[in-house]
Amino acid sequence: MPLQGRQPSASVALRIMHPEQYWAGLQTFSSLGEQAESKELPRMSEILEYWASVFNTLSIISNRQTPYHRDHLSIPECFDILTTVGNYSNARMSMPSRVWVYDWIFRHGVHEVEGDRVGWAWYMRDSVHIYAGVPSCGWARVD
């Protein structure tokens, strides 16, 4: 299994916040690995060995603002995790709507900052789960 023993903190946080999404992510990568072997796709197998997250998609943004947008490619019932590092100040994320339910539904954006910043947006694409034959994990529950 490609993720064993080297999961970034975003994956560890997801295991606590939404265990069903976490396990669906692991199951997706396991299925992708099996398909890569059965279809003799050595490059895919190699890449899966180095991918260290249960999230199947990563966008990296460096020293940029992101205009208002909706995350149409992520799975609505799944959490996305945004992490940033750097020496910066005055960071702001805004949503023009007064009510925030989920970033897939509502437009949101990140403004320019003073200094240097790198942001990672971790999310799961529904198309990858469909290709891997892994059903949707459903909404997070408190129970």
Q: What pLDDT, on a 0 to 100 scale, did the predictor assign at position 103?
A: 46
75 vs 139: CA distance, rounded Å: 10
Q: What pLDDT, on a 0 to 100 scale, did the predictor assign at position 30?
A: 92
118 vs 102: CA distance, rounded Å: 23
**Which structure tokens are listed for 8?**
């970034």
107 vs 124: CA distance, rounded Å: 18
Q: What pLDDT, on a 0 to 100 scale, did the predictor assign at position 97?
A: 64
Sequence-distant (6+) residues with CB within 8 A of 17 are 79, 140
**Quick check: helix, strand or coil at residue 20?**
helix
Task: Sketch the domain layout of the chain as residue ranges.
Answer: 9-132
Q: What pLDDT, on a 0 to 100 scale, did the predictor assign at position 74?
A: 81
| pLDDT averaged per 10 residues, the chain (length 143) | 55 90 93 90 87 88 80 82 83 65 63 83 90 88 74
Q: What pLDDT, on a 0 to 100 scale, did the predictor assign at position 3?
A: 45
Q: What single-letter amino acid sits at 141?
A: R
Q: What pLDDT, on a 0 to 100 scale, did the predictor assign at position 78?
A: 87
DSSP the chain: -TTTT---HHHHHHHHH-HHHHHHHHHHHHHHHHHHHHTT-HHHHHHHHH---S-SEEEEEES--EEEE--TTB-TTS--EEEEEEEEE---EE-SSSS-S-TTTS-EEE---EEEEEEEEEE-BHHHHHHHT----------
